[in-house]
Every structure is written in structure tokens, then in C-alpha cells.
Amino acid sequence: MKLLLLIIFIFHCYLKQSEVSGAQSYGGRFSGFHNEITLGLLTDTKNDDIRKVFRKAVDVANRDLSIPIRDYTDSVQYGNIYETSKKLCKMLRTGISGIFGPTARNTAKHVMNICDTKEIPFIDLRMEENPFSPRINMYPNPLQLARAIQAVIKAYNWPSFTILYESSEYLTIVNEITNLFDQDGPIITIRKYDLQLYGNYRSVLRRIRTSKDNSVVIIGSIETLPELLIQAQQIGIITDQYKYIIGNLDFHSINLEQIQFSEANITGFRIVSPENEEVKELIKTLGYDEGIEFRNVSCPITLDMALLYDGVKLFAKTSEDFQFQQEMIDCNSESHWKNGYTLLNLIGLKTMDGVTGKIIFENGIRNEFQLELIEMTTSGLVKIGTWSTDLDPSSELEFERYVPEAVQLETNDELSLVNKSFIVLTALSNPYGMLKSSTTKLVGNDRYEGFGVELIQRLAEKLGFNYTFQIHKDNQYGAYNVETNTSTGMIREIMEGRVDLAITDLTITSQREAGVDFTIPFMNLGIAILYKKPQKEPPKLFSFMDPFSKEVWMYLGLAYLGVSLSLFILARLSPMEWDNPYPCIEKPIELENQFSFSNSLWFSTGALLQEGSEIAPKAPSTRTVASIWWFFTLIMVSSYTANLAAFLTVESLSSPINDVNDLAENKGNVKYGTVANGATRTFFQVSDEPTYMKINEYLTNNPHLLLKNNVEAVEKVLNENYAFFMESTSIEYNIYRKCNLTQIGSLLDEKGYGIAMKKNSPYRDKLNHALLELQESGVISKMKNKWWKEVGTSGCSAKKEQSEAAELDMDNLGGVYFVLSIGSIIALFYGLVDWTVAVFRQSRKAHVPFKQEFKEEFKFVSQLNNFTKTVKPTTASSYSRNSSVTMQSTENDSTNNKTSANSNGKALPTRISNF
């Protein structure tokens, strides 16, 4: 027992000595532990501001703390897992104490898994549904964000609302909002607005417009939010009739200039206050002077930047209390950092006040935070209240500021268009703006007519403003160049303030919207191809053979030969087909068979052409073959006759191009072009679609094919082998007036025409509301029908295709006449050859010269009224025509007495075939 106590005492002393030695070796803060801390940032964004904030945070930590911190930043392609893992492992080999990961969901999870394996602290800055160890998530808990949205909805007392969410990663917030309301709560409609067609959200936005809900909660990424709001404004649902709550904490960082004067009630949240002193320092770090407007945004510091800044400071403060040795880790080995989990746990226990407020973690999740409620006004985003996780869910949210209704009404009166006077710029472009035909002199607005002119007139009647039309002389609609701050055409006239409004077939584009504002589209359209209608194909010479395919004709010929051969063989085998050629002789000495091979072919030909022949089968076998052949020819001839009628009366139409791909591949050698300086030309210039890039290259290499206007294009299409890219509405207009034109293929894009006005015009929402009422009442639809189909049209679309069969001409039946001519020529040639051979044989038998015999025969043939012919003797001495007989009497029975003898000398009948 004493020995055991002695051993325990010695072991205890050993442990004490080890602790003392360790304390001596770690005596100084940098004595053997770490000389510096390296923090790594893997960024997958091209924005350099995030790197600036990271360096600023490291500099602040080095300034305020005695621990030196070094930053290691590397860029990766968004969503590229292979590149991300490769660069992460490179970081770990240099010795990294903590990683701030990329924003892409898949790459961030991959980085987190590697850090988990190697026990490297990973600081997550993304919104995640279920954050878990080993990770610290700086992003506020999305479930608490749902509580904040619910509190605002209750404060606004919405009886019903629509939730617009972008993708599945936001379903956590959506589900929590619906769970927070009981059965007696508001009616909730949920819709998804993901990227449907090249960033086109209009279809789902139109459904909101047609529904009864005017209260909307938008939950999505900050990348898609600006375009969603702009398209909502174009649809006509960003007005004073609609209320919005934006469930994104970066709402303060987007440009709201285009919807700032919309009078819509838009409420959002922010966790980054621009009044915070550290935030002001960060703003200076990004290159902004104090008091400057930040590209029309409330604050340029995004949530990612603020969370990164706080994350670096939190890591640095934790490192003050925990000293460790930084190690180099190899991804290909089983090595890991033994201090990693300890450091990560200490970070999760640390509390700090940062630019995003008080930072407290619960199991790595940030559950406690405070949000500022902000509202969009004509002067920008204004703070209207605060929300905190400490707020009792049952209590009502209190706002710091209210806008009295009287002030709102006064503002609305100031924006009234009653008795306002506008100069409206238009262009002479059918049917939007045209000069009116009249026998009397017209002045002022009475000189013009068209769809655009009537639309302005109806808007003026609804809103009470006055207007004066002005024609744009050069007819160039123009564009705005952001880089050079220059504009052209109509856009320049508006930007320089010489006109107030512009209306024509002016397409709403992002390039133009950078310089001017547009109303919601009064007409939706797309780019299509204008070309001549398919032309009639010239009839083929042998078009009568079209009812049957080549294979059918080939097998028909083989069947014809096969049946003829069958008849020939079966007739020779059957005794019933051997006949007595001389009925007067009871016991003939020879028999004949009528089905020689030539007669078999003739029988099959007569049956096929349904003309019959003088030959008739007698035996059951030959009759069976003949019956089947007759049935076969009945079906074939009937099918041919029925199908021939359709082939000869229906005209085939053909066009060298059927879609845009045919144009790009230069099928039919069709040339094509667009308006030189229009939205259609810009569409091909900015497109990254391979087919459209090929077309843009062609247009660039052939500038002479770019035309000034649509009128010139229509004439070129009609008179040349030329196709023109034109808006579908203009194509429809020209098709009603030029019957030889048509639209080729489907629409290449989707866009709209709008009324242009000066940037930030206070009257845009009034015009939008009036346009929306005209659309809903069907007025615009009736106007389009009037100017497209009624005024000045030749009614091409009303002309129906002829249903009656057209008469056939020689182009359709030329092949039949050709066959007849060739057959007749062959028969004539064969007759001449046969006659010449017969004359030659007769001259040999009569022993007279061929020339003499030929003259005699030719002289006889030339006597067209002589139908009797003298039988010539076979000797020269008796060569005379004195004993003439009729051709019928020349037949005699001299051969009837032919016999054949057997070996005994008896006479036997002989079977003779004509073959």
C-alpha cells in the first residue's frame, strides 16, 4: 500500500513539473505559440469591394489587438467545386487558422466538409436552414427573419397577401411565415418567380395583377430583386394601390431610382445601419467620400461585407484568449489541426458588438439580433421602426414615424396631370404615327393620326392633360451610352428636355432605360422574320407519277413481269390452253397455245390499263392468276386515280427558309438585315446565343444590308431575295397590306413598346395606371384591331384559300403528253424498221433489186385511198400485179395438210406453239 502511494506521488510531481515547463515555454504571448494568424478568404464574386472589406477588417484587428493577423485571399469561379477544393488545399498547406467561404451553395458546403475533416474553423456568411457544427454561421437565423416579416404583416393588418419566393432555399422562411399565422389569419397565396425565360418574370407578375391581392411579400436573392421590381413596374403593379414587404436584408444596397417615385408602399429590413461609425469607415474604404450619394443606393455596404467584417473581428478577439500553434495541413494526408475544434467552440461562446449589431451564438446559430424597418419614399429609404428578437410575438410592432394622410393627399394633388401641357415626340411610322389625308388644310394635332396618336388622345381624356405633337425628323429612335454619357435620336431629345413624352414603336431596352424612363408596355411583341410567302413550285414533267412512290412503281413493274411469266408457264402446263387452230378438222394434227410470252405480256398490259384484250384464259390455273391480277389492278388503278387528282390540283408551296437557323446557315442564299440603329440590331450585338452571334457576324460584315426604316425593308423584301428582322407587330401590319408577305418562324425574344419620358418623371405612375385601365377595359385591343385590320388594309388575311379544284394546264399534264409522243415515235420507228425489213425480204424472195422493190412499196403506201394489195409472186418472171386479190383473200389453207410421220410411216398430230 505504501508503495502504491509512493508511485502516485511521483506521478503527480511529474505532472506538476510538465505544467511548469509548459508555462515557461508559453510565457510570452508569442513565445512558441503563434507569431501570426492567417485568415483565408475564398471569394467567388468579381466585385473587388468584398476584398477591400476583408483587408480593412484585418487592418483594424492588427491595430486594435496585439496579435498580428495576415490575410490570404484567393478567387474561385462561382460554383466550381474542383477549383475551390484545389485552392482551399493550397491555403491549408501554407497554414490557415480560419476560412471564410464562398457564397455559392454547393461550393460552400464542399469547403465546409473539407474544413470539418481537417478541423479548420469555417465561418459561414450565408443564409442556411439548419446550421450545424463544426461551423459558425454569422447570418441571422432565417426563422427569426420570418418572425420579423410576420410582425410587419400584423402591424399592417393585411387580410390577405401573396408570397413571391425565388427558389427552394427560401422555403424555410416561407414555411415559417405560414406556420406563424393560425387558421383565423390572413389568406396566403404562394407563388414562385424563378428564372423562367432569360430573366422574364412577367407571367407570374401578371397573375398577381389579375388577382385580388395587392399585398405582396418578396423573398429572394438580391441579384434578382432589382429586375423583378422593374418588371413589376412595367406590368403595372408598382403603384399606390400595392404594398410590398421585401424579405432580404440587402434591400438597402440596391438602386431604387426607377421605382422611387412610384408611390408604392415598399417596406424592407436592414441589419447594417449607415449611421454606425464603423459602417461609415467601411464606406470610405470603398472609395466614397462622406455625404456622397452611393449610386442611388441607401448604403453600399452589403450584408456579406458586414458579416465578413464582423467575422474577422470576432476571430481576432477570440484569439486573444486562446493561444495556439498554427499548422500546415495536407489535404491528401490524414492530418488535422488539433486546436481547430477548440478554437471554433470558443468563437461560438464569444459575444461582441459589430456593424451588424450584437453578436451572440446559440449552437453556432445567430438567434439574437435587431433589424431596422425601412420604407421607400421619394427621398430614398427612411427608417420607420425597429424589430428585435426580444420582441414578444404577441405584441404589436410600433413604428417610429407615420406619414399623415393629409400629406399624402397633398402630394398626390401635386402629381396630378390636370391642365398640364406636354410636347409629345413621335415619328412617321405606320401605323403609330401618320400624316392624315384630307382635302382641306390641317393644322396642329389634326394633321396626324395613328395608333400612337389615338393612344395619347385617350390618355389625355383620362388624365386631363394637354399635348402638342412634334415629328422627329430623322426618324431615329436612338439609344443611350452609359460609358460615354451620350445619347442619340429620340432618347437625346427627351434627356435634353426638348420634349416631355415620346411615343412610337419604341422598344423598351435596358440601354434606353439607363437614360430615360418608360411606362408599362402598351404592346407586347418580339423579333421575327419578314419574308415573301412560299412560292408555287413549278410542276414537274413527270408529276403524273407522284401518286406512287418510286418503290411502288418498281414493285408494280416486277408484279407485271411476274404475272406475265406465270401466265406463260401455267398456260404451257395446262392441256386446256392448247387449242385446235382449224375447227373444220375434227382430228387436227397440231395444236396451238395462245399464251405466247408476248401475248402474256399483252394480256397483263390490257388488264393493267383496264382495256382488256382478245385473249382469254381457259384453264382454272390461268383464270385464277388472271382474276387475282384483275383485282390487283382494280385497287392500284383506283388508288392511282384518286391520288392523282389531289397531286395535280393541289399546288405545292416552297420557301428556302423556315426559321432563323436556315438564315444563319445561308440556306437558299437569302440575304437578310435589320434597321441600322435599332433595338433589333442591338439584340443581335449583345446576344451570346451561337446562332444569333453568327447572324451578328454576318450583319457586321455586310453593312449595306442594314436599312434605314421598315418601309425601305418591305420594298426590298418584295423585290429581292431578302429577309428582314422586324418586330412582330410591324410584320403583322405589313402582312395585312402586302399579300405576298408572311412571317417566318417564331419570335426570337419578348419585349414591349412603351411611352418614353425623362428620368425620374413624377407622372410615370399616373400614365401607368391610365394605360392599365385602358388595357383592362379592352380599349387598346380595339385600337390595335382598328389600325391594323381596318384602316388602309387590303384585307389579305380575309382572303381564304381556294377550296375548289383549279384547272389543269400543260405544266401539270405535260408528262402525259410526253409519254404519248415518245410512245408514238417509238411505234413509228418500229413500224418503219419492220416495213423496211419486210421490203428487203420480199426483194430477196422475188429476186429483184431492193431499190426497185422499195419504190414500188413506197408508191403503194402513198396511195391513202387504196385498201387492197396484190400478192406478189416469188419469181421474177411472174412479177406482176395483174392478179390482184383482197388482203383478206390472201389467207389460205396451204399449210393445213402438213403431216409428220413416225418410224412406222403413220401420220400423227403435231403440237406446235407460237412461241
pLDDT of 894 over the 60 cut:
no
Q: What is the pLDDT of residue 19?
A: 37
Please, are residues 51 and 41 in contact by the beta-carbon 8 Å criterion? Answer: yes
Which class is domain 33-138+306-354? alpha beta
Query: Which range, of 39-53, 755-769, 831-845, 865-879, averages the lowest pLDDT?
Result: 865-879
Q: In this structure, are residues 644 and 544 in contact, taking their beta carbons and an 8 Å threshold?
A: yes
Give the distance from CA 374 to its chain's centroid: 39
Q: In terms of DSSP bridges, do strands 421-426 and 501-502 run parallel, antiparallel, or are they unpaired?
A: parallel
Q: Which of 187-201, 230-244, 375-389 has the lowest mean pLDDT?
A: 187-201
Report the amino acid identity of residue 184: D
Q: Say yes or no to pLDDT of 406 above 70.
A: no
Amino acid at 327: E
Residue 16 has pLDDT above 70, yes or no: no
Q: Would you give the distance in Å from CA 870 to the centre of its chain?
A: 88
Question: What pTM, to 2 d.p., does this model score?
Answer: 0.49
How far apart, in whole angstroms, are the C-alpha atoms of residue 163 and residue 187? 11
Q: Please tell me which residue, 756 or 79, carries the higher pLDDT value.
A: 756
Residue tagged 389579375 (cell numbers): 210
Q: What's the distance, CA 620 to chain centroid?
A: 68
Query: Would you call 211 helix, strand, or coil by DSSP?
Result: coil
d(CA 375, CA 627): 94
Domain 543-649 belongs to what topology?
Helix Hairpins (1.10.287)
Fold topology of 531-535+656-728: D-Maltodextrin-Binding Protein; domain 2 (3.40.190)
Task: Specify the 3-state DSSP secondary structure of 52.
Answer: helix
Mean pLDDT of 258-265: 78
Cell of 586: 375434227
Are the CB atoms for 39 and 96 separated by under 8 Å? yes
DSSP character for 873? P
pLDDT higher than threshold 60 for residue 3: no
The chain-wide mean pLDDT, for the chain, equals 78
Q: Which amino acid is at 31?
A: S
Task: Taking residues 560-579, report their average pLDDT.
Answer: 76
Model confidence at 620: pLDDT above 50: yes
Convert the pLDDT of each residue in 782-823 to its tens digit. 898 888 887 776 556 544 444 444 554 555 555 545 554 665
Region 117-140: what's the mean pLDDT? 79
Question: 417-524+754-790 and 543-649: same fold?
Answer: no
Topology, domain 417-524+754-790? D-Maltodextrin-Binding Protein; domain 2 (3.40.190)
> Under CATH, what is the fold of the domain 142-270+379-411?
Rossmann fold (3.40.50)
Task: Specify the pLDDT at position 286.
Answer: 82
Position 500 pLDDT exceeds 70:
yes
Distances (CA, A) of 746 to 527, 529, 785: 9, 8, 21
- Is the pLDDT higher at 278 or at 612? 278
When comparing pLDDT for 413 and 378, which is higher?
378
| Residues 205/232, Cβ–Cβ less than 8 Å | yes
Look at residue 481 and give its three-state secondary structure.
strand
Question: Residue 11: pLDDT above 60?
Answer: no
- The structural domains of the chain, with segments of one domain joined by +, span 1-31, 33-138+306-354, 142-270+379-411, 417-524+754-790, 531-535+656-728, 543-649, 815-884
- Tell whether the model's pLDDT for residue 852 goes beyond 80: yes
